[in-house]
């Protein structure tokens, strides 16, 4: 099975870049040429789709990590930062009102 994958060149280029339809088309071509039988073809499609899912998850994780790192480096305020500031502002406004009431 892995020899067939090497022949297809799918290991080197990454399965994530290939659509499900293209995977099925390539496997069907292998079946029609007699390089794999139907059962091997089904197993190959399942294996490639599983690998594609794994690679897509790894890509999502990497992109998420890179975005988070970029946000941290940019010194942008996060939602948590804004929530803390809003709470602090509300506390200060309350203290100012209380001081204003005492001075009246």
Contact present, 33 and 62 (Cβ < 8 Å): no
Q: Where are the chain's structural domains?
A: 2-76
Size of the chain, expressed as the number of residues it contains: 104
Report the 3 state secondary structure along 24-57: HHHHHHHHHCCCCCHHHHHHHHHHHHHHHHHHHH
| Interval 4-49: pLDDT, tens | 555 555 555 566 667 778 878 888 888 888 888 888 888 888 888 8
CA torsion through residues 92, 94, 96, 99, sign:
negative
The residue-averaged pLDDT of 88-97 equals: 98
- Is the pLDDT confidence value at 74 over 90? no
CB 44 within 8 A of CB 36: yes
pTM of the predicted model over 0.85: no
C-alpha to C-alpha distance for 72 and 64, rounded to whole angstroms: 12
């Amino acid at each position: 099975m892995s020899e067939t994958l090497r022949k297809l060149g799918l290991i080197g280029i990454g399965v994530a870049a290939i659509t499900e339809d293209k995977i099925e088309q390539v496997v069907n071509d292998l079946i029609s040429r007699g390089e794999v039988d139907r059962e091997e073809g089904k197993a190959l499609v399942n294996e490639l789709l599983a690998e594609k899912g794994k690679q897509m998850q790894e890509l999502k994780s990497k992109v998420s990590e890179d975005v988070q790192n970029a946000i941290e480096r940019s010194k942008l305020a996060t939602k948590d930062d804004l929530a803390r500031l809003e709470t602090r502002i509300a506390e200060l406004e309350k203290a100012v009102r209380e001081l204003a009431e005492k001075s009246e």
